[in-house]
Structure 1
Amino acid sequence: MNILNKYIKATNTHNFNEVKKLLHPKAVYFFSNKTCSTHEEIQEFFEHTWSVIENENYAAQDVIWLHAGTESATCTYTYCYEGYINGKYASGQGRATNVFLKESGEWLLIHEHLSPLPK
């Protein structure tokens, strides 16, 4: 589905206003170390990450659409990031689950869950 690509593209702008256009008003994010349940908390988390990982590029691999209906869609994927931390190249991966809802003809992200890959 195109909405995941739009979301990844918005994330890679490093401009939260672009990400926010794709967020449901009740969006909730589960990160490995924090839960964000308001747009303000989500923005703070994104902007902190962008400040720590300079020039970050975020990508999705091995996308599996568990459900893709007319009003909701859920996918899992391996997220990949790369950028510079304290001037040194860094990269990593983890697991992601995204849930999208279609409201007023627009797909919006209502939930994202990111976690480390199992060891």
Structure 2
Amino acid sequence: MKVLQNYIKATNTHNFEEVRKSLHPNAVYFFSDQTCTTHEEIQAYFENGWSIVQEESYQAKNVNWLYSGSDSATCTYTYFYEGYIDGKTISGRGRATNIFVKESDEWLLIHEHLSPLPK
């Protein structure tokens, strides 16, 4: 679904106002080290990450749409990121679950859960 592509594109702008356009007012994020329940908390988490990992590129691969209905859709995927910390290339990956809801003909992200891959 294009909604995930649009969200990834917004994330890669490193401009939270672009990301915010994709978020439901009640969006909740489960990161591996923190839960964010407001746009302000989500923004702070994103902006902190962007300040640490310079020129970060974020990708979703192996996307599996578990459900896609008229007013909600859920997918899982493997996320990949790469960028620079102190001029050195870094990269990583993990797993993600995203839930989107449709309100007023607009698809919005209401939940994202990111975690490391199992060992």
TM-score tier after normalising by the smaller chain length: over 0.9
Deviation track 1:59-78 (CA, whole Å, cap 9, x = no partner) reads 00000000011100000000
Residues 72-91 of structure 1 correspond to what in structure 2 (within 5 A)? 72-91=72-91
The aligned residue for residue 10 of structure 1 is 10
Cα shift at 1:27: 0.1
Q: Which residue of 2 aligns with 1:42?
A: 42
* Aligned counterparts of 1:86 and 1:74: Cα–Cα separation in 2: 36
- Matches for 1:1-119 after TM superposition, within 5 Å: 1-119=1-119
Deviations 1:65-93 (A, max 9, x none): 00011100000000000000121000000
Q: Which amino acid aligns with 1:75?
A: C
CA deviation profile, 1:84-106 (whole Å, cap 9, x unmatched): 01210000000000000000000
Measure, in 2, the Cα distance between the counterparts of 1:6 and 1:50.
18
Shift of 1:5: 0.0
TM-score when normalising by structure 2: 0.99
4+ runs deviating over 6 angstroms? none
RMSD of Structure 2 on Structure 1 (CA): 0.3
The amino acid of 2:65's aligned partner reads: W
Q: Secondary structure at the match of 1:32?
A: coil
Q: Partner letter of residue 77 of structure 1?
A: Y
| SS state at 2:108 partner | strand
TM-score by structure 1 length? 0.99
